[in-house]
Structure 1
Amino acid sequence: MVEEDQARPFAYATTPTVTGDEEATSLQSQRKLRRKKFCICYISVSLVIGLVLPLVLIFTVFKVKKPTMTLNSVQFEKVSISNSTSLAGIPSLNPTTPTTTTTSTNPSINMTMLADMSVKNPNVASFKFKPGTTILYYYGSEAGVARNPAGNAKAKKTMHMNLTIDLYIQADSSTPSKLEHLTSDLKSGEMSMDSYTILDGRVNVLNIFKKNVEIKMNCTMTLAISSGSPVSVSLKDMQCKSKVKL
């Protein structure tokens, strides 16, 4: 019995045979798996781009920036002072022109101011604004008002506006403080005025990102008055400050 067991040969492991159909099915399954993984990766990348890219654009390219307004220059025309006695002590640009030493009890000055203003738009979309208002003050008293025209400052462009303001300043005994200032200014040949301008508009990016914009600008001007013939007024100094609200 023992001899028979020892004489029995060992069984060899057999390698399973794979038919052609089974191999084709396996390759097809692998291809499907690869396509599925590719689709998942593609969808994931598309979702990331679709979510992240708009956020990047919103906070960079499409971010609404503050437009700026500037009062570039001013000129004065049609200057008229109430009468010759209003020019007491005003220095003349012409040395041969004498100056009077009398005073006026009711001084006044009338003139037209031509202003060159501009709006700079740093955005990738246009800045469309409504008609605005510019008011000039003389020691807190309104001296002239003008309406700024509506406009559309194109993307990355600066739009210029020409403004005409008629100014009239008069003082008498009923306004002692104003009378004192105007009399003193006409004597010294130098006067100060303040201007206030406000514009309201909107920046519209792709009709998706919309932002209302309010621009306020305050300027202080120092004017020089000469008693030449005719009397003239020119800008000596100007300081402006702007505030933009989005």
Structure 2
Amino acid sequence: FSFHSSKRSRMAEKIDQQAINEQARSDEESCRMESKELRRKKRIKCIVLFIIVQIIQTLILSLTVMRVRTPKVRLGTVTFPNLVTGTQFIPYFDLTMMAQIKVKNRNFGPYKFESTNATFTFQGVTVGHVLIPEGKAGFLSTEKVSVTLNMSSNALMPRFSRSLGSELGAGVLTLNSQAKLSGKVTLMLVIKKKRSAQMNCTLAINLSAKTIQDLNCR
């Protein structure tokens, strides 16, 4: 009886040990499964975060770097090496003007523009024009082009004599200037967008001081 009892006891211990081992293996397998699930969830989170970052970067690029703005062209410094005018009763003018034309590029890429003419008028009648040569304004920079032109009242018809005489009598001659630049903005070295820049300036010339009294561009 003692022999059989001992044998049954050893068998019970063996069964208990097997159960413990199986439980341990089950727990280990469960831990491995949980670890795999955690890694999978972590990978998904990383992928989602990467996609969100890419979307944000794309939006920032489209709203800033990739956004194409129209360049601005304006008159800058103006001087008069020669300025001759008549009187209120014998109105005429003949002048030489040296001007700086500024092409302001507000893009994250260069703006290459074609040559064009800048026209100067008195009450809508052309009194002079000058060639603006082709050039390039670098990204986020201003290109300054120096030009020299002669202007005179020879093209004005007699009906302008009174208004011209009035301005000469007041000592201030008002002229307008217009120009249109056509060109392309290059982004990321490959993307090219056409843009045209307009210049429309009004300049009031102080005849006694031979300087610009007022300059308004839009």
* TM-score bracket for this pair, using the shorter chain length: 0.7 to 0.9
CA shift digits 1:196-240 (9 cap, x unpaired) = 1222233333147654333222222222445xxxxxx82342232
Asked whether the 8 Å contact 2:172–2:207 carries over to 1, the reply is yes
Distance 1:190 1:49 in 2: 60
* Structure 2, gaps ≥5 residues long: 1-15
The reply on whether 1:201 has 2:183 as its aligned counterpart is: yes
**Matches of residues 219-230 of structure 1 in structure 2 within 5 Å?**
219-225=201-207
* Structure 1, gaps ≥5 residues long: 1-13, 82-86, 90-102, 227-232
Distance 2:191 2:46 in 1: 29
Equivalent of residue 41 in structure 1, options 33, 45, 60 = 45
Distance 1:183 1:37 in 2: 85
Tell me the C-alpha RMSD between the 2 structures: 3.1
Distance 1:68 1:213 in 2: 10
Distance 1:42 1:171 in 2: 74
Partner of 2:173, secondary structure, is strand
**Matches of residues 65-80 of structure 1 in structure 2 within 5 Å?**
65-79=69-83
What is the match of residue 212 of structure 1?
Answer: 194
Asked whether the 8 Å contact 1:171–1:179 carries over to 2, the reply is no
**Against the structure 1 CA distance between its residues 41 and 185, is the aligned structure 2 distance closer, same or farther, given a 3 Å change threshold?**
closer
How many residue pairs get aligned? The number is: 201
Q: Which amino acid aligns with 1:59?
A: L
Asked whether the 8 Å contact 2:171–2:207 carries over to 1, the reply is yes
Query: What TM-score does the superposition give when structure 1 sets the normalisation length?
Result: 0.66
CA shift digits 1:69-100 (9 cap, x unpaired) = 3312212234456xxxxx447xxxxxxxxxxx
The reply on whether 1:57 has 2:33 as its aligned counterpart is: no
What is the match of residue 93 of structure 1?
Answer: none
What is the match of residue 135 of structure 1?
Answer: 119
Partner of 2:46, secondary structure, is helix
Query: What TM-score does the superposition give when structure 2 sets the normalisation length?
Result: 0.74
CA shift digits 1:142-193 (9 cap, x unpaired) = 1111121222222232221111222132168xx3312333445455554221
Partner of 1:203, secondary structure, is strand
Deviation at 1:135, TM superposition (A): 0.4
